[in-house]
Amino acid sequence: MSAPEIDDRVQVTTHEMAYGPHAVARLDGKVLFVRGAAPDELVEVRIRESRDRFAFADVVAVLRPSPARRPTPCPYLPRCGGCPWQHLDYAAQLAAKSAVVREQLRRIARLEAAPIDAVLPSPRQLGYRRRIKLRVDGGAVGLLAAASHSVVPIDHCLLAEPSVNAAIPAAAALVSALTSQLRRIELNAIAAQSARVVVAAEVEGPFAEADAARIETWLAEFPNVSGMALRGRGWRRSWGAIRTKLEGEDGPELTVRAPGFTQVNPLGNRALVATVVTAVDPRPGLRVLDLYAGAGNFSLPLRRRGAVVTSVEEDREAAADARSSAAGESGPSMRVIAERAERVVARLADGAEQFDAVVLDPPRAGAAGCMPALLRLRPQRIVYVSCDPATLARDLRALSPAYRVERVQPIDLFPHTYHIETVVSLRLTCEGPVPGVSSARRHAPTIPPRRRARRRQV
């Protein structure tokens, strides 16, 4: 049979799930990524895109369904691209995520027998998201369609908390009311079980000054919106109360100004923080460096247990929020540095500062820029929190000359998607200098300027 071409229809049997919205099949030696399929089923597919070694396809008909397949409860599927694994039962989702983590660590990090624990499930499978990000296309407000840049208008999302769903009409009304061109709108519950939300939006181009009065009118019309934050290239404006609160694993709240990053799954975040705290094993006087620290999701719980924390976060508003939260609590001093993690960890290594543990929580791109300096800094323990198994595996391989992986704990913060959070505990095993790593930096690292893209926009 000739190589598949676009719009060809073929029958294939799927195998495992890929790290993405696809199941994997094979056709005449070519890997076929099939959207809408489940593992171990016979499907008829239409080729959407074909390349030399692989192709993408969409399910046309399920000829022999997988035991893992289930009816999708969402009325916007399969057109909406937000929940590409919703057609799998939850046990199958967890099994697939575990397999993805194991395969990435085996193939990229060369960890053939990594000590991977069972995936911690999300406490909720639906209604777990405290924030969602909507796209705007003309007058339409919704989510991106699968494998497309078009927008699927929605009036609710099964993953969102009730207060977030109740604010979707307010988002649609905002688009209609303003002259400024909105392109994304984020709805964020201000606190657990709250009926109110903060709206944060991105504007294409300049802000139309006449919109300030329109926003005041809009806020009065929708009392379930506590405040509004707008931003464009080089500017920010806000109205009303734009702070949100995320209840911590041990009770106290983390306060963040919108559109600052917080985990979307509050109950899942408690499990994440508890896992990191257990891995660090803080005690009074323990010196901890928290890189990519955000507003203090890990820094503050570690400090409450007596650790002396240096918190590093590039986003100045998030760093200021961490300082503010720390100032409102008793505990050891907490140094907050508002600078890029790569630069800070290199400077700390140059200054021969010592830390007992380092927590890494980087964006999806990982922490490759920190690896050389970490190998010079040589903390006894590194706890790496990752939302991307591939970049995690790459960075673990870079650390392997000096560190042993002691535990891998996947945590499902994002049911019905392919995303998976993974916490890896590493222990220093190389007592002397790491081969090939200089004890002093010869030149400042070349780090190109970039716009901050704070990780998990899912």
How confident is the model over 414-428, as pLDDT tens digits? 999 999 999 999 999
Would residue 255 count as lying in a domain? no
Separation CA 132–CA 189 (nearest Å): 9
Would residue 254 count as lying in a domain? no
Please check whether residues 111 and 230 belong to one and the same domain.
Answer: no
- The string of pLDDT tens digits covering residues 370-379 is 999 999 999 9
Please check whether residues 179 and 193 belong to one and the same domain.
Answer: yes
* CATH code where residue 400 lies: 3.40.50.150
Would residue 257 count as lying in a domain? no
Token output for 289? 């460096």
- pLDDT at residue 344 is higher than 90: yes
- The string of pLDDT tens digits covering residues 353-404 is 999 999 999 999 999 999 999 999 999 999 999 999 999 999 999 999 999 9
pLDDT of residue 437: 65
- pLDDT at residue 452 is higher than 90: no
Domain range enclosing 174:
131-243
Answering whether pTM is above 0.85, one says yes
Give helix 389-399 / helix 90-107 axis angle, nearest 10°: 30
Please check whether residues 411 and 355 belong to one and the same domain.
Answer: yes
Would residue 76 count as lying in a domain? no
Please check whether residues 185 and 332 belong to one and the same domain.
Answer: no
The answer to whether the CB of 189 falls within 8 A of the CB of 243 is no
Confidence of residue 445 (pLDDT cuts 50, 70, 90): very low
- The string of pLDDT tens digits covering residues 223-261 is 999 999 999 999 999 999 999 998 766 656 789 999 888
The mean pLDDT value for 287-310 works out to 96
Token output for 307? 């650790």
Using DSSP, state whether 298 is helix, strand or coil: coil
Strands 357-360 and 287-291 turn out to be: parallel
* CATH code where residue 192 lies: 2.40.50.1070
Please check whether residues 64 and 140 belong to one and the same domain.
Answer: no
Would residue 74 count as lying in a domain? no
The answer to whether the CB of 121 falls within 8 A of the CB of 93 is no
Would residue 387 count as lying in a domain? yes
Would residue 189 count as lying in a domain? yes
Separation CA 85–CA 300 (nearest Å): 34
Q: Is 387 a catalytic residue?
A: yes
Please check whether residues 209 and 351 belong to one and the same domain.
Answer: no
Closest CA to 428 of 451, 400, 447: 400
Query: In which region does residue 402 sit, left (phi positive, over 0), alpha (psi from -120 to 50) or beta (all else)?
Result: alpha
Our measurement of the distance from residue 372's CA atom to the centroid of its chain's CA atoms, rounded to an integer in Å, reads 24
Closest CA to 290 of 353, 324, 335, 245: 335
- pLDDT at residue 441 is higher than 70: no
Please check whether residues 345 and 444 belong to one and the same domain.
Answer: yes
Please check whether residues 238 and 314 belong to one and the same domain.
Answer: no
* CATH code where residue 14 lies: 2.40.50.140
Please check whether residues 458 and 342 belong to one and the same domain.
Answer: yes
Q: Which residue type, as a one-letter code, is found at position 291?
A: L
Closest CA to 231 of 250, 204, 257: 204
Please check whether residues 137 and 276 belong to one and the same domain.
Answer: no
Helices (H), 118-167: 162-166
Question: Which of the 8 DSSP states describes residue 160?
Answer: B
What is the chain's mean pLDDT, rounded?
92
Our measurement of the distance from residue 29's CA atom to the centroid of its chain's CA atoms, rounded to an integer in Å, reads 34
Confidence of residue 442 (pLDDT cuts 50, 70, 90): very low
Please check whether residues 234 and 147 belong to one and the same domain.
Answer: yes
Domain stop point among 212, 243, 274: 243
Closest CA to 72 of 159, 174, 132: 159
Would residue 295 count as lying in a domain? yes
The mean pLDDT value for 277-289 works out to 97
Per DSSP (E only), the strands in 292-338 are 308-312, 334-337
Separation CA 266–CA 151 (nearest Å): 27
The span from the first CA to the last CA of the chain, in angstroms, equals 39
Q: Which of 74, 157, 370, 387 is catalytic?
A: 387
Give helix 211-221 / helix 168-177 axis angle, nearest 10°: 150
Please check whether residues 157 and 190 belong to one and the same domain.
Answer: yes
The mean pLDDT value for 303-327 works out to 96
Count of domains observed in the chain: 3
